[in-house]
Structure 1
Amino acid sequence: MTAHELGEYLMHFQARVLQDALSEASGAYWSRRAEAFEAAKPAPGEFHGKATRAELSARWCLMDKTARACRARASVSLIPSEVEPDVLTAVWEVS
């Protein structure tokens, strides 16, 4: 790898780290995470293999607790919505 290629790789890597950090700071990110945990709750009538009622109940409680924690995190976010790619580009060009 040449020095130029390495420089470009590192710039791209830094941009992705910044993008991920800003995305994970947004309320929209945490709201989506909450929805994913809500969707992961075991539901009546679904096939659950050999899971017992107690195991399903424990899983439901864990998913519910995690979804509530994600919604709480979303509610205190300083960045309510997704960060647009042009904002990331502008931030990156300034640094």
Structure 2
Amino acid sequence: MILEHADIRIDPSNASAFEEAIQRGASTVIGKAKGFRGYQVQRSIESPGRYLLLIQWDTLENHTVDFRGSAAFAEWRAIVGPFFAQPPVVEHLELVGQS
């Protein structure tokens, strides 16, 4: 399993609308993508306007090729993109340990 970590910054005054949009987009668009396993949206306590979107994928390619190369990616960006104060910083992670 691969964990996509997207660090998203928005204008804090748009928080309520963004939170609705990101959850709607993740459940209705990303949730239908090949290899999608689940997601979380975390809001920073110390940094208003900062969110982490964590998406579980079966493989790296399910995100980077299958989803990002699909029409669904444009649909997703149309839902959440207008809120971005800057482009999100996205990384992919592999689990090496847990308790």
The alignment's TM-score, normalised by the length of structure 1, stands at 0.27
Asked which structure has the greater CA Rg, the reply is: 1
More strand by share: 2
More helix by share: 1
